[in-house]
Structure 1
Amino acid sequence: MILCYAEGDGLGHLTRVRAFLHTTGRTGPVTYRTTSPFASDPRVIVPAPSGEFAVGAVGGAASGLPAENVAAAVGSGARDEFVVDAFPAGRHGELSAADVPRGARTIHLARLLRWDVYRERLPTDPIRYDRTYVLEDLDTAHLAYLRSVSDEVLPLVLRDPPAPPACEPVRGWLLVHSGPDAEILELTAYALDMAAVEGVAPDMTLVAPRRPDGLPPGIAHRDAYPAWPLAADADRIVTAAGFNAVRQFAPWRERHRMLPFPRTLDDQFARARQARSLGSTSAP
């Protein structure tokens, strides 16, 4: 049994863990512990190679998991591996060594964090990881901490599971964001401004879980997951600068434009700068 602790409100954590399971060929039953509403979407939570897949939801509100509920959220029973995504001590610092299921091998998936903010949440008795996979360039102090609490620290390039054929290709500009709605509208406004500056009027398709109120007329909407296969026929791709967007659209880097959004813990601005150095273009 693999227990994946993927605490977060959106699609990012679930998509990353999904790619990790595929990349490393993990088999056997898998349980997610998450507050993400997307955990109920069968397109996101797909069967592991063994065909067995279980989904759990942590107790507590999406804004935070009370410390006294962590052990219940992790659950009892035999666990072969305990995989903790993104935050080495959980989103709010709620995970410590005492929360590791007995006998489980511990795995951490490390992505870019605003380390100056997150390090204040670290517990005094941190989880000791058997292996940490570094998924992108990290802050020096962040990487040093991971080395201090991990037996092994290794790079890993994620690969997504094969996607079903897109039912209809997207022509023109592809806009992708899972929300919140205010950010979807801001991303749309950015794309429209970019088109106006360039003196073009491309067809635009927004891929998002829902059509937000106030979406400008003339912009098509599609609820598609995963979205990355639609990029092949698009003239331009416009996204935020989240981990999965930058990773998944890297093959079309020269057509990718990104608008980083502020996050409490994720540093989209640093990620956008890194992507720009490799050829992607982000907003000023």
Structure 2
Amino acid sequence: MTELVIREDRGAIAHLTLNAPGSLNALSDAMLAALKDRLNALAQDETIKVVILKGAGKAFCAGHDLKEMQRGRDSADQGRAYFADLFARCAEVMQMIPALPQPVIAQAHGIATAAGCQLVASCDLAVAAEGTRFGVNGVNIGLFCSTPMVALSRNVPRKVAFEMLTTGEFIDATRAREVGLINRTAPHEALEAETEALGQTIAGKLGAAVRIGKRAFYDQANLDLAAAYDHTAAVMVENMLWRDTNEGVQAFIEKRKPDWAED
């Protein structure tokens, strides 16, 4: 049986590969379940500092499996219960990514469309091969990408998001970087190395500090200005009292490499 989400650990970096190239790594029911299982396992794995998410074959992810969705219409309610459950399950997986303790980097190539674009937008960081195309193009078949819109509109300016959603037009990697959907671009042959380098940079930091910082990053974004400062100040106090943070500060003062207990 084909493993739909392959996990390969390289030191402190876990590589997750969506492995359904024949369907352009569509987010089928089985794919969503497999990805959820992998994310749940990583949430408990303190040996992993960074997660890289990529797709097998010629594309990152083409979104939902439309053929499978059409089969859902065969029920007496014409698919209402199935569709509600599908979009709830997909939303749960998308929300698991920012909630994961480790930073998650999308490594995109080929296309990332509809829920596949949503997946890129849900990741904390993204690197894409030059020429990669991104779109929330459901409107072209009469299905507005309302759930992908949630992640997209939290990554790019509103007018950019609305244009993509209402026209169904794609943007390339250069434009995606300009508007903030991705962080970096690389030639296709250098994509893996560029993504790995970013991952290694983050993995080289104090993991506990990155974990507490990631949580605070998303928590403060939902607060008003004064509450955000109150919350992050409390986080920094906790962070400052750690043994490894004390060691890191002292090592900087003494111009030496820190001797972190974590490592």
Give the TM-score, by structure 1 length.
Answer: 0.28
Give the TM-score, by structure 2 length.
Answer: 0.30
Greater helix share, structure number = 2
